[in-house]
Amino acid sequence: MRNRIIAALLLCTLAACANKPPPPASTSTYEGVPLPPVKPPVPAKWAHTVSASHDPANEVHLSANDFQCLAQAIYFEAGDDIPTGQRAVGDVIINRLRDPRFPKTVCDIIHQGGEGAPGRCQFSWWCDGRSDATGDGIRWQMAEQAANEVVSGDYPDWTKGALFFHNKSVHPYWSKRLQLTNVIGEHIFYR
């Protein structure tokens, strides 16, 4: 029942954005497109494990703080994106965590480049001078769900090992030096 309520709220939000009346609450699709399953957010006190294809050799353990950093990055970088796009942004962060060229924790990866240094931060929202409060409850719940799905290892890495991404609306100079791996939702991914 809770999942149907959450799905109905999401549908109402989507419908409001499209200026269309929301479908009835009992509908499990939106304009013929099946809705993704809605999982409850993971409590912050839990430690999380990532495993690629459920291979224990590839497990990465995240603290509750790192999980929150991952969810916050998804919230700001892809909070309005499709679920696959949200997971893809999370995958890039986890891919960086596995790469020795990047910092050793999720929070350090996200904060890399220094606060208050526009153009030097790896994640622009971190040093854009705006509040980092996650005030939109539904968007935050979706970001937590995407983060949980990334760390669960239940979904493939559609970024194909990407370490970098940018929104389709921008054209950074560095993108020409990298190999494009995929376009997912509103972002382009590279390694």
Counting the structural domains of the chain, the total is: 2
pTM for this prediction: 0.68
Rounded to 5 degrees, what are φ and ψ at 149? -70, -35
Q: Are residues 32 and 52 in the same domain?
A: no
The sign of the dihedral angle between the CA atoms of 141, 146, 149, 150 is: negative
Q: What is the domain extent for residue 180?
A: 42-190
- Using CA atoms, how far apart are residues 123 and 18, in angstroms rounded to an integer? 29
Q: Are residues 34 and 47 in the same domain?
A: no
Pull the structure tokens for residue 178: 């990298």
Q: Are residues 20 and 81 in the same domain?
A: no
What's the pLDDT score for residue 54? 55
Q: Are residues 144 and 66 in the same domain?
A: yes
Residuewise pLDDT in 10s, the chain (191 residues): 555 555 555 555 554 545 544 444 433 344 444 544 444 444 443 334 443 455 454 455 789 999 999 999 999 999 889 999 999 999 999 999 999 999 999 999 998 876 555 566 777 776 766 667 777 789 999 999 999 888 887 788 899 999 999 999 999 999 999 999 999 999 999 99
HEC per residue, 119-145 = CCCCCHHHHCCCCCCCCCHHHHHHHHH
What's the pLDDT score for residue 136? 75
- Using CA atoms, how far apart are residues 64 and 42, in angstroms rounded to an integer? 10
Q: Are residues 65 and 108 in the same domain?
A: yes
Q: Are residues 28 and 65 in the same domain?
A: no
CB contact at 8 A, 49 and 60: yes
Q: Are residues 61 and 91 in the same domain?
A: yes
Q: Are residues 106 and 176 in the same domain?
A: yes
Q: Are residues 34 and 51 in the same domain?
A: no
